[in-house]
Amino acid sequence: MKRDSRPNPKESRIRSRLVWRLFAALSCLLLLSVFAIDLYLTPILKQVLLQIAGDALADRAYLLREHLAVLPERTWTPERIDALADRIAAEIEARVTILDATGRVLGDSTLDGAALQQVENHLYRPEVQAALVDTYGRSTRYSFTVKEEMMYVATRAGQGFVRVALPLQEMAFLRRRVLTGLVGATGLALVAAGFLAWLIARAFTRSWREMADVARQIAGGDLTRRLTIGRSDEFGTLARSINEMGENLQQHFFAITHERNQLLAILEGMTEGVLVADAEGKILLVNPPLTAMLGITGACVGATLLECVRNPEMHAAINNVLQHGVSDHREVFLRETGEKRSLMMHSRPLDFDGRHGVVALFYDMTRIRRLEDGRKEFVANVSHELKTPLTSIRGYTETLRGGALADPAVAQTFIEKIEKHAIQLQALVEDVLQLAESESGRMELHKTAQPLAPAIEAVRADVADFLAEKQLAFSSPMAGDHTVMADPHALKQILANLIENAMQYTPTGGAITVTAVQQAHACAITVADTGIGIPERDLPHIFERFYRVDRARSRDVGGTGLGLAIVKHLVHAHGGEITVASRPGEGSQFTVTLPR
């Protein structure tokens, strides 16, 4: 139905009468306000301004008192005190006077030189006398020194008194400005009263329309809408009820939004994965750590876990909780990415207004399982390496006890073999202990500038007999003086392990060469041999503990399988790198880069 836009005569008459009544009431109220300001508010305003000024001066006096209290008595000289008064007065924007205990003026921010010396004694000034018997004294009077009316506040301070003063002219000016502004505002209000009365009358006739519009907008979701009607009749009561309803709805909405944002922040900051599903098993929420663990996206919200992750164990855990209402704890494994990952999944029921859902926490156990597997493998390898020499030693010992001691030649041979295996066991134990120390990060390195040539020569001298026995040629053609920053014992061990490894896998008549190349901030040391080489498939594993390319040959030459692992950890502890290049039948080249 189309609304008639023509004015209603009755509504116009009512609006006109209301406008005049409102105008008359507002005019009387404004005129009465002018008289009230003149008769009542003026002395109150003066008293308030004086009180505010007095409190401000008292605060400044207390601060100055605390500052003077710590000054030694010997510093209370007119020169120092007057300079202090000038500096503090500039900071607090007030006149500062400092007196000694007899009332003599030691410093004044408005006086200096001869004028300061001629100023009369201030002990009997009202504010100073009041400060003698109370916390502070205050007075207002005309100052003949600065030629204007002043407010003074004095208090005890250190060896005497401190007084702070402000001119009352500023407060009088401020009072006049306030009164002038109020009177001017009253005049402007009288001019606007007629227009305001017309607006109020017009608003009254349209109040119900505004209420209906605001209520509709709040119901539509605009919770910031409010009514501006401030009436005391039925319309005002209804308007306040609508505003209270909108305010309550807005507060509840903000509270829910705040709690939701807090929950999201907590879920995003967790290292554990979190999944929430409803009674049908459809995902309601997943946090970012879980999306990273499972490789899923936010698009999975609304779908089941099995639709997003093809893992029957996870699906079975969710179903077990939903069907039986009990918690479920199990370890699940992911193999989709090619790397086996282990996740500990803890699921428990969750109540949704009487309907059961499920919340599941996921802990990534991959690294822990990998460390456990490494520990088990290490224990197994050590046990295996110890078993062979121990079995041999025990067999030789039983043979000797069984009568072989009667034959000196046989006994000598068995004893030599026992000694050989004992030496092998000792080397294994020493390598295991050193590897454990280097991997623990507690190894102490004393790095100094170490020349390479003497270190290489010392290793060559240690293995000279073995080189001669296998007829291996050893050379270290290095031009210039090559120096690295390294621990001397660790450097020798790095070179010894690399050279011994080269000797073990180089046939009789071969050659071993040690070279060094100086770089900008490092030195590259290369140990090359003409040995049997390393297959390409074994290159990524040769620095692993107990890894051997040819296990039978390694045991024959007495290797423990830990030498290259020790070298890698020692090099990394020095901040260096180690690489290898090799081809079967063409020898190997191990390059260690250490800081210069």
pLDDT per residue as tens digits for the range 223-275: 777 777 666 666 677 777 877 887 888 888 788 777 777 777 776 767 788 88
CB 274 within 8 A of CB 359: yes
> Which of 47-61, 210-224, 495-509 has the largest mean confidence?
495-509
Mean pLDDT rounded to a whole number for the chain: 77
* pLDDT band at 296; cut points 50, 70, 90: confident
Least confident of 161-170, 191-200, 548-557: 548-557
More confident: 251 or 354: 251
* pLDDT band at 552; cut points 50, 70, 90: very low
Determine the pLDDT at residue 527: 92
* pLDDT band at 513; cut points 50, 70, 90: very high
CB 454 within 8 A of CB 584: no
The average pLDDT across 72-77 equals 74
Can you tell me the distance from the alpha carbon of 524 to that of 571, in angstroms, rounded to the nearest whole number? 12
pTM (2 d.p.): 0.39
* pLDDT band at 201; cut points 50, 70, 90: low
pLDDT greater than 80 at residue 103: yes
CB 474 within 8 A of CB 510: no
Q: Which amino acid is at 515?
A: T
Within 13 A of 87's CA, how many CA atoms are on the CB side?
8
Long-range contacts of 314-318 (CB under 8 A, 24+ apart): 314/345, 317/345, 317/347, 317/360, 318/277, 318/281, 318/347, 318/358, 318/360
CB 261 within 8 A of CB 289: no
pLDDT greater than 70 at residue 443: no
Determine the pLDDT at residue 529: 92
pLDDT greater than 60 at residue 559: no
The encoded tokens of residue 86 equal 């000038």
pLDDT greater than 70 at residue 70: yes
Question: Could you give the percent of the chain with pLDDT greater than 70?
Answer: 74
Can you tell me the distance from the alpha carbon of 364 to that of 342, in angstroms, rounded to the nearest whole number? 6
Determine the pLDDT at residue 43: 74
Beta strands in 212-282 (DSSP E): 273-277
* pLDDT band at 304; cut points 50, 70, 90: confident
pLDDT greater than 80 at residue 551: no
Residue with tokens 């919340």: 359
Other CB atoms closer than 10 Å to residue 501's CB: what's the count?
A: 21
Determine the pLDDT at residue 393: 79
Can you tell me the distance from the alpha carbon of 341 to that of 365, in angstroms, rounded to the nearest whole number? 8
CB 414 within 8 A of CB 396: yes
Can you tell me the distance from the alpha carbon of 311 to that of 258, in angstroms, rounded to the nearest whole number? 35
Determine the pLDDT at residue 512: 92
More confident: 526 or 65: 526
The encoded tokens of residue 265 equal 């922040």
DSSP category for residue 121: P
The average pLDDT across 133-142 equals 83
Determine the pLDDT at residue 244: 80
Determine the pLDDT at residue 4: 45
Determine the pLDDT at residue 511: 92
Can you tell me the distance from the alpha carbon of 164 to that of 133, in angstroms, rounded to the nearest whole number? 18
Least confident of 128-142, 218-232, 470-484: 218-232
CB 270 within 8 A of CB 293: no
* pLDDT band at 5; cut points 50, 70, 90: very low
pLDDT greater than 80 at residue 12: no
More confident: 60 or 235: 60
CB 325 within 8 A of CB 356: yes
* pLDDT band at 480; cut points 50, 70, 90: low
Residues 531-544: pLDDT tens digits?
888 888 888 777 77
Can you tell me the distance from the alpha carbon of 311 to that of 332, in angstroms, rounded to the nearest whole number? 8
Determine the pLDDT at residue 590: 92
